C-alpha cells in the first residue's frame, strides 16, 4: 500500500487514463494471474486492494453484475494493487468472485492509469475505448450507473 501512496504522491504516474482514451495493451508479464481474452468485449477494469473498505462492499455487487452480463460479451477484470500477494489471496478467501482477478505486481498499470483511490473502475467498450470512469463505490448509486452504462455498451453495434 505504501508504495502506491508514495508513487501517486510523488507523481510517478506517467499517464492518466480518461474517458475517450484507448486502454493500453495489457502485457501478461506485468500481472500475477491469467489475463482473460478481452478482445471485442465490454470490460469493467476494476482496481482494488485488500485494505480498501469500499472494495469489500463492491465485490458482492460486482459479482451480481458479472453474473447478469457475462453471457452477453461482458467481462470484469479485477486488478489488485497489493504489494503482497498473500493479502490479495486472504481478501479473495473472504470475498470470493467468479470474475478474473490479476495482481498488478509492479503497480505499472495502476501508475499508468493514474488511479488515486480504491476502488476505481474503467468501463471499456468493445473497441477498447474507455467510456466511463468510476472513483469509489457508492452502493446502489454506483451499481445502477454501471448497469445502465453496461447495457448501453452491450447494445451498441
Q: Which residues are catalytic?
A: 52, 55
Q: How far apart are CA 129 and CA 123, in angstroms?
A: 8
Q: Give the three cell numbers for residue 149.
A: 452504462
Within the chain, where are the H helices? 2-9, 53-69, 85-94, 108-113, 140-155
**C-alpha dist (Å) from residue 41 to 70, 113, 124:** 10, 20, 8
Amino acid at each position: 500500500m505504501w508504495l502506491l501512496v508514495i508513487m501517486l504522491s510523488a507523481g510517478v504516474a506517467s499517464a492518466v487514463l480518461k474517458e475517450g482514451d484507448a486502454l493500453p495493451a495489457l502485457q501478461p508479464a506485468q500481472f500475477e494471474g491469467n489475463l482473460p481474452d478481452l478482445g471485442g468485449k465490454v470490460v469493467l477494469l476494476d482496481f482494488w486492494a485488500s485494505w480498501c473498505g469500499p472494495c469489500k462492499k463492491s465485490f458482492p455487487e460486482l459479482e451480481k453484475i458479472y453474473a447478469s452480463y457475462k453471457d452477453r460479451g461482458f467481462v470484469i477484470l479485477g486488478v489488485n494493487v497489493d504489494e503482497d500477494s498473500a493479502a490479495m489471496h486472504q481478501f479473495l478467501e473472504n470475498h470470493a468472485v467468479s470474475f478474473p482477478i490479476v495482481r498488478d505486481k509492479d503497480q505499472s498499470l495502476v501508475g499508468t492509469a493514474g488511479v488515486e483511490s480504491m476502488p476505481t473502475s474503467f468501463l471499456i467498450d468493445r473497441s477498447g475505448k474507455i467510456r466511463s470512469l468510476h472513483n469509489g463505490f457508492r452502493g446502489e448509486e454506483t451499481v445502477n450507473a454501471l448497469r445502465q452504462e453496461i447495457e448501453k455498451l452491450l447494445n451498441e453495434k
